[in-house]
Amino acid sequence: MKNQTQTSTLNACYKPSFYNIVTAHPDEGKVILYNSLTGTRINVSNSVIDKPLSNWLQSGAAPMPVLTESLLSQLKKLGFIIDKERKEQDYIKKWQGGAKHNDKARSVTVVLTRKCNLGCHYCFQDKEQDDAKVNWRKVLDYIRSQAIPGGSLTVTWFGGEPTLKMKMIHEFSAEIIRYCQENDVHYVGGITTNGVRLGSEKVNQLIQDKVTEYQISIDGPDFIQEQRRPALNGTSTYDKILENIRLLISHKANIIIKVIIDTKNWHYVEQMFADLDAKKLLPYVKFAIQETESKFSSANYGCRFASLAEFAQVKLYLLSKLAAYGYPLSEPGKKATFCEATSPFATTIDMDGNLFRCSTEQENLVAQLDENNKQVWLNKEYEELFFTTELGTHDGCNSCKVLPICGGGCTIAAKNMANRQTCSFYKPGIDGYLRLLAGKTIDKPDIVPVVIEQVALG
C-alpha cells in the first residue's frame, strides 16, 4: 500500500522528460541514459535502470515504477525526470527564438568567384558561369552592416575556389578587420578551399588576414581523391593538400576536413585516416563526414546512399575507425537552427551584391543590393521558407527525440524543393552514436561497395 501511495503521489507530481533516450551500453549489465535537451549522458547499471524504469523513462507510459528517494532525486537533478507541469517544447521554442534573434552574432559567406581549379564530379557550382561583376564597395558596405558593435562577425571566403582571388581576400580583410576593431566587434575569418593552391606564401597571408578557420575537402586516399576531385590541369593534388595542411597546423589554424561519402568511396575513406595518422596529421584536424547536397545541378549525381539510415550506418562506422586512432568524438550539441541557411543572421553574398540561401545556384537567389545598398527582394517567399515559428519543419519534428540536437530539419527539403535529406544524421544514428561514445566498435555496414580500380599516379 505504501508503494502504491508513493507511486500515485509521484505520478501526480512528475513525468519523464520527453527527450530521454535509453540504449544498451557496450559493457554487459549497463545502459546508457541520455537526454538530448540537457545533453546529460550517464552510464548506469541495468539493476538501477531496469526494464520497467527504462520503458517509463522513454515513453512515460503509466504506471511510474517505484523509485527510492535517492534515485528520484538524482534523476530529477540530471533532468531525466521533470515537474509534471513543465512544457519542454515551450522551453525549446523560447530558446530557439532567443538564439535565432541574437542579432549581434553575424556570419557572412562571400562568394569571390565561381571558377575553380578542380573538376569535382558532384559539385553543385556552375563553373561555366562567368564571375559576377565585382562591386567592391557595395559588398564591403554590406559586410560592414553585419558588424554589430559589441557583437561578433564571421566572414568565410568561398567559391568556386577562393584562393584564386587572394588579392581580393587581402584587401577586403584589411578593411573589415579595421572596421571591427574600431567598433568593438570580435572578428573571425574562415575559408572553404580545396587546399591545393595554398602554399607557404598564401598561408602566411591568410594568417596575417586573421583567417583562422579552414574547411578543406578530401574524399579518400590519393587515388580516390584524384579520381573524384581531379585537377583541371591533370596534375595530382593529394600530397599538395596534405603538405598545405601541415603548414596550417604549424600556424595553429583550426582545420576541418570535409569528407563527402557515397556508395563509391565510403569503404576507402578509412585508408585516408590511416595515411593521415601515419603522417602524424590526424591529431590536429577535425572531420565533417557528409553526403553530397544533391540539389539542383548535382541532382543527377546518382551515387547517394539509399536512405538516411544507410548513410548513418556508414558514418558511424567511419567515426568508429577514427575513434580507434584516439580521435575525440564530440558530444551531441543543442542546435537552434538546422544549418547556417536557416539562421536569419547568416547570409551569402556574391561580388555583384546578389544574396543567396543554401549555396549559390540561381534557384537559391533571394535578394539583391541596389545602388543605395538596400535589399531588394527577388524571391521573398523562398527566403521565408527557411524560417518558421514552429519547432520543426514537418509533422515528425514535434514527436522526435533528437529535435534539440537537430535544429528542426532542412526546411527546403521538407517542402520538396530540394533532393536532400530533411532530417539530421542523429535521427537514425543517435543510439549507435551514444554506444560509440561509450566505447563500442561499430561493425562494417553490410552495404555492397562499388569497387574502384586503383591506378598508378604520376
C-alpha cell read off for 217: 575537402
Taking only the tens place, the pLDDT of each residue in 390-399 is 556 677 888 8
**In 3D, which of 246, 278, 220, 255 has the Cα closest to residue 449?**
220
In this structure, CATH architecture of domain 102-388+400-437: Alpha-Beta Barrel (3.20)
- pLDDT at residue 295, rounded to an integer: 55
| pLDDT for 16 beyond 70 | yes
Distance CA 396, CA 411 (A): 13
Residue 37 pLDDT: 94
Which residues are registered as beta bridge partners of 157? Answer: 110, 191
Helix (H, G, I), strand (E, B) or coil at 243: helix
Residue 458 has what pLDDT? 47
Tell me if 65 sits within 8 A of 56, measured CB to CB: yes
Q: What does the DSSP 8-state code read for residue 374?
A: -
Rounded Cα distance between 160 and 111, Å, is: 8
Q: What does the pLDDT read at residue 1?
A: 41
**Given this model, what pLDDT does residue 7 score?**
56
Mean pLDDT of 100-125: 84
Of 349, 354, 350, which Cα lies nearest the Cα of 115? Answer: 350
Cell numbers at 449, concatenated:
561497395
% of the chain surpassing 90 pLDDT: 58
Q: How confident is the model at residue 388 (pLDDT cuts 50, 70, 90)?
A: low
Residue-level pLDDT at 431 = 96
Place of cell 557595395: 138
Residue 32: pLDDT band (50, 70, 90) is very high
- Size of the chain in residues: 458
The more confidently predicted of residues 217 and 294 is 217
Contacts with 288 (C-beta within 8 Å, 6 or more apart), sequence order: 215, 256, 257, 258, 259
pLDDT mean over 10-31: 89
pLDDT digits (tens, 9 = 90+) for 326-357: 999 999 988 888 888 878 888 999 999 999 88
Domain ranges of the chain: 2-86, 102-388+400-437
Res 299: pLDDT: 55
Q: What is the pLDDT of residue 124?
A: 66
**Could you give the CA distance from residue 456 to residue 458 in angstroms, rounded to a whole number?**
7
Strand partners of residue 388 = none
Which comes out higher in pLDDT, residue 86 or 11? 86
Question: From CA 293, how far away is CA 304, in angstroms rounded?
Answer: 10
pLDDT digit string, tens, across residues 236-286: 999 999 999 999 999 999 999 999 999 989 999 999 999 999 999 999 999
Average pLDDT across the chain, whole number: 87
State the Cα–Cα distance between residues 434 and 41, nearest whole angstrom. Answer: 8
Q: What's the pLDDT score for residue 151? A: 94
Q: What is the pLDDT of residue 31?
A: 94
Cα–Cα separations (whole angstroms), residue 211 to 35, 149, 179, 380, 403: 36, 21, 16, 32, 33
| Residue 421, pLDDT score | 77
- pLDDT tens, position by position, 164-221: 999 999 999 999 999 999 999 999 999 999 999 999 999 999 999 999 999 999 999 9
Mean pLDDT of 431-452: 86
Dist. CA 17–CA 100, nearest whole Å:
24
Q: What is the mean pLDDT of residues 423-449?
A: 90
* Confidence category of residue 383, pLDDT binned at 50, 70, 90: confident
